[in-house]
């Protein structure tokens, strides 16, 4: 569970030098291409699992437990005889589902609050910002633990906890970039033309910060995947028999001495998904808004 | 300075109160009756009522909240619903592990991150920079508990150098304890170090571009001297902000990592308490963790003002 860094590093003045030089541009493009490819791989796995898996990811067949990789089971079977490839494919689905909903929660509430803070200023802004600072004191694992203690563990618990933790990051990013738009001349012109704060927010501010929000959402998606994996590993997230990568790691840990590879696959899947999204976010940042491209 | 610090202290106290209120409301107001949860759905109403009275849960909500706050002020956190022993004692036992673990991993994080960040900034766009930065990209993507499992696979299963889990305690001297915390600390710090290294690198690069650096170089100072004497101090502000925020992740991370290594720390205590429905322990542990996060960020805020006097002016 890493920090939502991109948002919280205090604003260092953006690099004034535009990115030049063939090598650097190519490097950036390469990270974008690699990121998009890895993200599509995970998305493709999730979509494929809706149509087809080599074996059922739910049927238990203890007789064929812990099989090594073979032509029938490409990566072998787990302790309940389930096919690892099928589990990984269906696990991608849970991962993406939790990520999409959690980021959706963070994005919806965070962007609204951030836009309000930037438009209203004064004590409203102060209140919203203090509240979002405060929410940072409760990392997703901590709120998930509280929720699990009263409502029981499960996918809803983990989605809610991750979603809440995502809100402050979006509040900060939205407010910061919205404030910058509010200071621009065309907003002044719009105000002079008699447009209200709400209309300016919808017509001018939001479209101008959209690319920043897309980049941030990509990175937050990666963080949500890490959080979901950790919560499922702890048994607070996705519950069996629904396969999830975090859960698979938990199961595998008891068998480290017999079948060490079982602990390698699900973790690699998580790492690929997160790496892909992070690279994609970096690449998108450079492509959508070259001014934002920092020295990386 | 004093006004600045005073304001920060007031914010700190207000934040702690808000945190305590939310934790209390979520854990004690929402679930209905803790006694019912402890005894299960089949318990007779009389037995549940008796336990409710015994645990003091029949008192009004506001009164129970005030009692808790008062208890925290004097160090009496009440008794565990399950063990019947004082919660303060339970937590203290566990902190003996969790605090050294947090300190160890924060130290490893800072050393690794500053070394990598400064090295890459000084060798900007050279092969070493690109290599280390690619490594950090991978480091950020690793789930820390998976990295922990991989470390166990390597050091405990294959090489059999370290144990796969458990805590040796501090009774036989420092080394056995440190040894059993070594893998957990490393797995906690790798991800954090990768993030912090990237922050350090971009902060140093940012400062290297400032006019005063050119002036210092023009004055005849060597590259190395400028870096150590002028650049680092100025680059520390963003680095420290992130360090403060990372501390929160580190504490949250201990909950996960303690479970990977079966370490009897605070994280595992919270976890067992959830399983046992011991809400009073959960409440106090969550409060403690949230308070640590808030206080660390407060300290970072105040430290800024010492490192960069411009900040307090901006905040007044």
Q: What is the pLDDT of residues B76-111, one digit of tens each?
A: 888 888 888 899 999 999 999 999 999 999 999 999
Instruction: Give me the pLDDT at residue A14, please.
Output: 44
pLDDT at A290: 59
Please tell me the predicted confidence (pLDDT) of residue A9.
Answer: 41
Q: What is the ipTM of this complex?
A: 0.83
Q: Which of A8, A31, A142 to mutate to test the interface with B (most CBs of B within 10 A)?
A: A142
Instruction: Output the pLDDT for position A12.
Output: 43
What residues in B contact A27, CB-CB < 8 Å?
130
Q: Which of B146, B192, B281, B300 to mutate to test the interface with A (most CBs of A within 10 A)?
A: B146
Q: Assess whether pLDDT exceeds 80 at residue A201.
A: yes
A30/B contact by beta carbon, under 8 A: no
Min Cα separation B198/chain A (Å): 8
Tokens of A181: 């738009």
Helix axes A245-253, A206-234, angle to 10 degrees: 30
| Dihedral pair phi/psi, residue A65, rounded to 5° | -80, 150
Annotated domain spans of chain A: 78-295
pLDDT over 60 (residue A96): yes
Q: Kindly report which listed range (A228-237, B68-77, B168-177, B204-213) carries the lowest average pLDDT score.
A: B168-177
Q: Nearest residue on chain A to B272, judged by CA atoms?
A: A149
Pairwise CB contact (< 8 Å): B15 & A10: no
- Chain A residue closest to B125 (CA)? A24
Interval B15-34: pLDDT, tens: 899 889 988 888 876 555 66
**Alpha-carbon gap, residue A160 to B130, rounded angstroms:** 38
Mean of pLDDT values over A217-223: 92
Question: Which positions in chain A touch B143 (Cβ < 8 Å)?
Answer: 226, 229-230, 233, 246, 267, 270-271, 274
Q: Give dist(CA B293, CA A29) in Å, integer.
A: 38
The CATH superfamily label for domain A78-295 reads MetI-like (1.10.3720.10)
CB under 8 Å to B153, separation ≥6 — which residues?
Answer: A256, A260, A263, A264
- The per-residue pLDDT for range A161-186, each reduced to its tens digit, is 899 989 999 998 999 899 989 989 99
Contact B143 A9 (CB under 8 A): no
User: Given an 8 Å threshold on Cβ–Cβ distance, is B149 in contact with A263?
Assistant: yes
Cα A181 to chain centroid distance, Å, stands at 26
Mean pLDDT of all residues in A230-255: 88
**Cα separation, A174 vs B312, whole angstroms:** 25
Percent of chain B with pLDDT over 90: 28
Alpha-carbon dihedral of residues B95, B101, B103, B108, nearest 10 degrees?
Answer: 180
Average of per-residue pLDDT across A263-277:
93
A230 and chain B in contact, CB less than 8 A? yes
Given a cut of 80, is residue A102 above it in pLDDT? Answer: yes
pLDDT at A17 over 70: no
Which residues in chain B touch residue A137, judged by CB atoms under 8 angstroms apart?
Answer: 15, 19, 248, 290, 293-294, 297
Set of chain A residues whose Cβ sits within 8 Å of the Cβ of B297: 136-137
Bigger pLDDT: A186 vs A52? A186
Judge whether B105 and B190 are in contact, CB under 8 Å. Answer: no
- Alpha-carbon distance A12 to nearest alpha carbon in chain B (angstroms): 8
> For residue A6, what is the nearest residue in chain B, using CA coordinates?
B199
Choice among A45-59, A128-142, B80-94 with the minimum mean pLDDT:
A128-142
Q: What is the pLDDT of residue A19?
A: 47
User: Helix axis angle, A84-120 relative to A122-135, nearest 10°?
Assistant: 150
pLDDT band at B150 (very low <50, low <70, confident <90, very high): very high
Q: How far is A130 from chain B (nearest CA, A)?
A: 9
Confidence of residue A193 (pLDDT cuts 50, 70, 90): very high
Write the CA distances from B133 to A77, A235, B175, B224, B242, integer angstroms.
36, 33, 33, 21, 18
CA distance B204 to B207: 5
As beta bridge partners, residue A83 has: A77
- Rounded CA-CA distance B129/B127 in Å is 5
- What is the distance between the alpha carbons of residues A88 and B240, in angstroms, rounded to a whole number? 39
Express as a percent the part of chain A with pLDDT over 70.
Answer: 88
Residue A165 near residue A143, CB atoms below 8 Å:
yes
Q: Which of B246, B277, B289 sits opposite A3 (nearest CB)?
A: B246
**Mean pLDDT for chain A overall:** 83
Element (H, E) at B39: helix B34-39
Mean pLDDT of B38-42: 72
Nearest CA in chain A to B18: A134
Nearest to A229 by CA among B243, B260, B269, B246: B260
B195, A3: Cβ pair inside 8 Å?
A: yes
Average per-residue pLDDT for chain B: 85
Contact call for B11 and A230, based on CB within 8 A: no
**Residue B257 and residue B253: Cα distance in Å, rounded?**
6
Enumerate residues 185 to 224 of chain A having a beta carbon within 8 A of any beta carbon in chain B.
Answer: 222
């Amino acid at each position: 569970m890493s920090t939502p860094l991109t948002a919280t590093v205090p604003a260092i003045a953006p690099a004034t030098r535009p990115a030049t030089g063939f090598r650097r541009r190519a490097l950036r493009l390469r990270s974008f291409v690699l990121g998009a490819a890895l993200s599509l791989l995970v998305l493709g796995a999730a979509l494929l699992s809706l149509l087809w898996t080599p074996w059922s990811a739910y049927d238990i067949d203890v007789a064929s437990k812990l099989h090594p990789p073979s032509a029938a089971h490409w990566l072998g079977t787990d302790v309940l005889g389930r096919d690892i490839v099928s589990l990984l494919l269906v696990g991608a689905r849970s991962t993406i589902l939790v990520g999409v909903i959690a980021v959706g929660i963070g994005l919806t509430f965070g962007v609204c609050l951030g836009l309000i803070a930037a438009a209203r200023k004064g004590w409203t802004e102060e209140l919203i910002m203090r509240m979002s600072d405060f929410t940072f004191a409760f990392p997703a694992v901590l709120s998930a633990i509280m929720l699990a203690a009263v409502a029981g563990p499960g996918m809803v618990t983990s989605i809610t906890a991750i979603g809440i933790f995502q809100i402050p990051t979006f509040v900060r990013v939205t407010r910061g970039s919205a404030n910058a738009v509010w200071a621009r001349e065309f907003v002044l012109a719009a105000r002079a033309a008699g447009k209200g704060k709400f209309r300016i927010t919808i017509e001018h501010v939001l479209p101008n910060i959209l690319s920043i929000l897309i980049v941030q959402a990509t990175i937050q998606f990666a963080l949500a995947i890490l959080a979901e994996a950790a919560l499922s590993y702890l048994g607070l997230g996705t519950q069996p028999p629904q396969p999830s990568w975090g859960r698979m790691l938990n199961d595998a840990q008891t068998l480290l001495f017999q079948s060490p590879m079982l602990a390698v696959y699900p973790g690699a899947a998580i790492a690929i998904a997160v790496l892909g999204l992070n690279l994609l976010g970096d690449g998108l940042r450079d492509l959508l808004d070259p001014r934002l491209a920092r020295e990386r | 300075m004093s006004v600045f610090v005073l304001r920060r202290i007031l914010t700190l106290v207000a934040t702690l109160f808000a945190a305590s209120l939310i934790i209390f409301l979520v854990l004690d107001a929402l679930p209905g009756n803790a006694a019912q949860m402890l005894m299960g759905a089949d318990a007779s109403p009389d037995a549940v009522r008796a336990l409710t009275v015994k645990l003091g849960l029949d008192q009004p909500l506001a009164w129970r909240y005030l009692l808790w706050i008062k208890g925290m002020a004097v160090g009496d956190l009440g008794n565990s619903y399950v063990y019947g022993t004082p919660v303060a004692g339970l937590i203290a036992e566990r902190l003996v592990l969790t605090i050294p673990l947090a300190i160890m991993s924060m130290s490893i994080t800072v050393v690794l991150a500053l070394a990598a960040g400064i090295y890459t900034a000084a060798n900007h766009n050279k092969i070493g920079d690109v290599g280390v930065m690619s490594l950090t990209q991978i480091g950020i993507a690793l789930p820390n508990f998976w990295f922990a499992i991989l470390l166990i696979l390597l050091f405990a299963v294959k090489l059999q150098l370290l144990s796969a889990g458990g805590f040796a305690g501090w009774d036989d001297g420092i080394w056995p304890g440190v040894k059993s915390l070594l893998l957990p600390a490393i797995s906690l710090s790798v991800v954090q170090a990768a993030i912090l290294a990237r922050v350090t690198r971009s902060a140093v690069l940012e400062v290297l571009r400032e006019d005063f650096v050119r002036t210092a170089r023009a004055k005849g100072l060597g590259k190395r001297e400028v870096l150590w004497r002028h650049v680092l101090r100025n680059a520390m502000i963003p680095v420290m902000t992130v360090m403060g925020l990372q501390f929160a992740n580190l504490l949250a991370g201990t909950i996960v990592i303690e479970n990977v290594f079966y370490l009897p720390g605070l994280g595992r205590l919270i976890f067992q308490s959830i399983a046992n429905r011991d809400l009073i322990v959960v409440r106090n542990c969550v409060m403690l963790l949230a308070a640590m996060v808030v206080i660390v960020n407060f300290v970072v805020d105040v430290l800024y003002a010492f490192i960069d006097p411009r900040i307090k002016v901006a905040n007044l």
